[in-house]
Amino acid sequence: MSHALLALLLLVCAGFYAVPLADSDFWWHIAAGRDILQRGGLPAADPFGVYAHADPIRNDTVLKGQWLGQVLLYGLFAVGGVDAVVAFRVLVLLTCLGLIYARARLLQAAQPWALWPLLGLVAFIASGFGGERPQLLSFLFAALFLLCMDLAWQRREARWLWLLPPLTVLWANSHGGVILGVVLLTLWSLLAGLDRGRPWAERRHWALAAGAVFLASLLTPNGLQTYRYLFQLEGSVLQQRTSEYVSALRLFELGLVWQQVAVVAYFLLAALGLYGLIRARRWPQAALVAFLAAISVVSYRYLAFFLFLAAPYVLAGLGRLSPTRPVVSSRLMHRLVAGVLLLLLLVGAWRGSLFRGGLQGAAYPVAMADFLERQGAEGPAFNTLEWGGYLLWRLAPRLRLYIDGRLLDLTRFPPYTHMLWATPQGQRAFEASGFRWVILPWHGRFDPQRYRLIDYLHRRPDWRLVYRDAQGVVFARRP
């Protein structure tokens, strides 16, 4: 019954996770993958001509640190288009959910009264992590990483630990999230070393595996620079301006009210599970739950790891607190969950919100890019950060954009904001930049206020409006 219920849950999740592609950074990632394959190597400088100057550490991290993930995404897009990428995203999220179930059973922590409500919470919150980026591979590799650790710990078989170094090499060349895997294994190994109930030979294997994984994480084009970038990022303007760095307990500020309720519920269950793990003296699992919870409170971007990695340990801790006879029987819980899932399928089918796929056209300036392509537009262009990735994919390097999501030169961000709002400082910076084109939406993603640069250009005799639609405008400088 449990396996059938899991299959039904994954079917429902697949239907609701298959939403049109809308990630603003996806396009520059596949543009990078295309460039890497065409040149047969990794670029040393921005191949699209957007950033003439860049911070060396950020330059290498962005251009070289995710090359395998970018090539994979581009390959999927080249073979199957947008729908292949959407299917890949869905498959990764479903695999992460399935691994929670598998690890819970391995830990003997799959009591139905706790398993299905917690898995439902995780599935709902995980729907917000649908960005089609190399970060998806971090979720997958992290879940596989923890599966190997659990197998080695539960079965006391060190051979599972030696799958971690090759997995780490793949992870490290796909996304910088590999650092989290190194930290978690190191933390676990330190606590395992203090466990006198484990043979010395077993504890030694954990310590050696941690060292091997750290060395494997350096087998990338950037080596130690991957770790240096993490420290450089702290307190940077990029961190301050990116919504992913908002605390997981402040999602309501982004308008994610129901997701916030679910996240708070998950944190409460995690606190109870952590208490159960501490009572049972399961120190490595308790330490990982506490650590992942702490970094998720600091930044929303780590919440997915807290969900996918910590959930089986939370279930194990809750199992230690459960009464001898649960309030809801397994059979009744299975029937309730099956009923809810079937109802969700019916409602989703009725509303047409299942298995949609495709491209969310409203997220990208598709028609504007078509127009600029027909015009043979070239030269320097001012654009918004959110549209930079798509325009880069379609029009660079012939059209030299001002900014995109890679932000290789963080000094561009302050003048960019001033130019958008046509402040006196922004007007001076705009005129000094020698732009030939301006490509703008009417307003920002979260702010309905119209960009003042549009009104400024309407008043300028040396600029003319050449295109407009429901999404925004294109201005061209008069000859």
Helix (H) or strand (E) holding 437: strand 437-441
Predicted pLDDT at 235: 54
Predicted pLDDT at 244: 67
The single-letter code of the amino acid at 20 is P
Which are the contacts of 87, defined by CB distance < 8 A and separation ≥ 6? 18, 80, 357
Predicted pLDDT at 258: 87
Cα 79 from Cα 298, distance rounded (Å):
39
Cα 234 from Cα 225, distance rounded (Å):
15
Predicted pLDDT at 400: 95
Sign of CA dihedral 153, 175, 237, 448: negative
Cα 273 from Cα 292, distance rounded (Å):
13
Q: Residue 409: helix, strand or coil by DSSP?
A: coil
Predicted pLDDT at 241: 56
Cα 199 from Cα 107, distance rounded (Å):
20
* 220-245 per-position pLDDT tens digit: 999 888 888 777 665 555 555 555 67
Phi/psi of residue 29, nearest 5 degrees? -65, -45
Predicted pLDDT at 199: 86
Return the exposure string of 396-432: e unless at least 16 CB atoms fall within 10 Å of the residue's CB, then b: beebbbbbbbbbbbeebbebbebbbebbeebbeebee
Q: Residue 264: helix, strand or coil by DSSP?
A: helix
Cα 426 from Cα 438, distance rounded (Å):
14
CATH numbers and ranges of domains, the chain? 2-351 (no CATH), 364-477 (3.40.190)
Query: Do 381 and 436 form a contact (C-beta atoms < 8 A)?
Result: yes
Closest CA to 178 of 102, 68, 75, 32: 68
Burial of 164 (0-12, 13-18, 19+ CB in 10 A): buried
Q: Residue 443: helix, strand or coil by DSSP?
A: strand
Our measurement of the distance from residue 33's CA atom to the centroid of its chain's CA atoms, rounded to an integer in Å, reads 18
Q: Residue 464: helix, strand or coil by DSSP?
A: strand
The low-confidence residues of the chain, meaning pLDDT below 50, are: none
Closest CA to 301 of 254, 248, 263, 251: 248
Return the ∠ at Cα 98 (arms to 25 and 269), rounded to 5°: 90
Structure tokens at 470: 């429901």
Q: How far apart are the first and last CA of the chain?
A: 72
Predicted pLDDT at 279: 92
* 418-428 per-position pLDDT tens digit: 999 999 999 99
Q: Residue 174: helix, strand or coil by DSSP?
A: coil
Annotate 275-310 with three-state secondary structure: HHHHHCCCHHHHHHHHHHHHHHHHCHHHHHHHHHHH
Pairing label, strands 379-383, 437-441: parallel
Query: Do 333 and 112 form a contact (C-beta atoms < 8 A)?
Result: yes
Q: Where are the alpha helices (DSSP H) in 127-282?
A: 135-155, 164-172, 178-193, 200-217, 225-233, 237-241, 257-279
Query: Do 273 and 317 form a contact (C-beta atoms < 8 A)?
Result: yes
Bridge partner list, 379: 399
Cα 413 from Cα 126, distance rounded (Å):
30
